[in-house]
Structure 1
Amino acid sequence: MEMTPPPRDPGLQPERTLLAWRRTALGLLVNGILLLASGHGTSDVRLGLGIVVMVLALACWAAVSAVYRRSVNHSALGSERVLRLAAGLVLTVGLFDLYAVVTR
C-alpha cells in the first residue's frame, strides 16, 4: 500500500515573491530618478542612464506582474525565463549605478 503525498499548498509564497520583485522594481525606479536628478544640466550620460534605468525598472515590474497573473491558481511564480530576465535587469541597473558612482 503506497501513500500519495498531499497536494502542494503554496500558501502565500507566490504573493510574497511578487511583492519582493515589486519592491525591487520600485527601488530601481528610484535609482533611475536619482540618476536623472544627478545628471540634470551636467551630463547627458547620466540623463540617458536615468531614463534607461527607469524603463528597465518598469519592464521588471510588468514582467513579474504578468507572470503572476498568468500562473494557474498562483501555485508558482511562473516562467523561469521571465524571472531570469528580471534578475538580469536588476544586474544591468546595478552596473549602471556603479558607473554613475565611479564617474561622479
Structure 2
Amino acid sequence: MIRKASVMTVYKDQYEEYKKRHDELWPEMAVELKAHGASNYSIFLEEATGKLFAYVEIESEDKWAQMASTDICQKWWAFMEPLMETNPDHSPVSTELKDVFYLA
C-alpha cells in the first residue's frame, strides 16, 4: 500500500457545492477509483484559505496514474472545474506532499 497526500484549492464561494458534489459522488466514479487501486480516500477543507488536503491509499503508482485518462475521470474534472483551481486540461491544480511521518 502506498499513501499519497496532496493539496488543492477550492474557491471560497464554492465550499458547499464542492462538498455536495462529493457527497453525491457518481457511483461509476467510485467504481473506477477502486478499480485503479484507490482506498481510504479522504479530502479535508481548511475553510480560512480554501485549501483542500487529499489523502488516498493506492496499490501502485502505475495503476493510479492510469485513472487520469479514463472517461469518467475526464468527465469529473470538467464537472468540478468551475469550483476549483484547475489546469488547462481541467485537472485540479495539485501539489503532492512529501511523507515525513507515519504512526501505524
Verify same fold: TM over 0.5.
no
- RCO greater where, 1 or 2, for CA within 8 Å and sep 6 or more? 2
Give the TM-score of the pair, scaled to structure 1: 0.28
Which protein has the larger Cα radius of gyration, Structure 1 or Structure 2? 1
Q: Write 1 or 2 for the structure with the bigger share of strand.
A: 2
Return the structure number with greater helix share. 1
